[in-house]
Amino acid sequence: MSTHGTPSNRIRIYCVTASSCWLLLIVALHGYAAAPTATSESSPAVQTPAQEQPIGDAWSDPNNPIAQLFEGQRLDLWSLRRPQRPALPPVKQEDWVRNSIGPFILEKLENKQLTPSPCTDRHTLIRRLYFDLIGLPPSPQEIDAFINDSSPDVYEKLVDRLLANPQYGVRWVRYWLDVVRYADTNGFERDEFRPTQYHYRDYVVRAFNNDKPFDTFIRE
């Protein structure tokens, strides 16, 4: 999908490939401002109020194309709902909870009369974090430093350090590149190289490492 924004933040969608149709769905779900009609110097644009009318999100605007397509159905799917911060559920083993996610996990366990697994040791924990966030193992020196660090926020500091590591983008960008069918060659019977394709890959890596907002990312 190729999109271009004007000074008024309008969105024009020129083409949508089969692998990126869901991006169009995201844009349409949350609303957009109508793009001006293409014109030439000899034929100036004449826009009607209807063309200028912005489209609201699919939950509140009946003119939204997704709302019209689904006819009010399937918009209650969890993946389409706006994020909301729910109240923390009450739990019995309150001393096990260390963050706001814990109560939700513990509630499910207690409802099934299960108990949480024991906390892992630091040697295992640092290896899990490294492989999950950057896809590489920690060095022996990094393991020793983590094990011997007595500060109460040692875990949080390690997470922040790995998220700031450039390898984080390299590790996680592959999921997005799979979605958009990225490849360095054409594939199939004419498997020719795409010599400039890596520019897009590197751009996505930078977007992940710079924590670029998703709406900005899909517009660019």
Residues 129 and 126: their CA atoms lie apart, in Å, by 5
Q: List % helix, strand, coil for the chain (3-state, nearest 5).
A: 45, 5, 50
What is the tens place of the pLDDT at every residue in 46-70?
555 555 678 777 777 777 777 777 6
Q: What is the pLDDT of residue 144?
A: 97
Q: What is the pLDDT of residue 16?
A: 38
Residue 164 near residue 201 (C-beta atoms within 8 A): no
Q: What is the pLDDT of residue 28?
A: 64
- φ, ψ for residue 208 (rounded to 5)? -65, -45
Q: How far is CA 35 from CA 9, 48, 69, 190, in A?
A: 9, 12, 21, 38
Q: What is the pLDDT of residue 170?
A: 94
CA triple 71-73-79, angle to 5 deg: 125
Domain spans in the chain, listed from the N-terminal domain onward: 3-37+48-80, 122-219
- The DSSP output letter for 117 is P
Q: What is the pLDDT of residue 11?
A: 34
Q: What is the pLDDT of residue 51?
A: 54
Q: How far is CA 131 from CA 28, 57, 83, 136, 172, in A?
A: 36, 38, 28, 5, 11
Q: What is the pLDDT of residue 204?
A: 93
* Across 82-87, average pLDDT: 86
Query: Which residues make Cβ contacts (< 8 Å) with residue 175, sequence separation at least 6?
Result: none
What is the tens place of the pLDDT at every residue in 7-47?
333 333 333 343 445 555 665 666 666 555 555 555 555 55
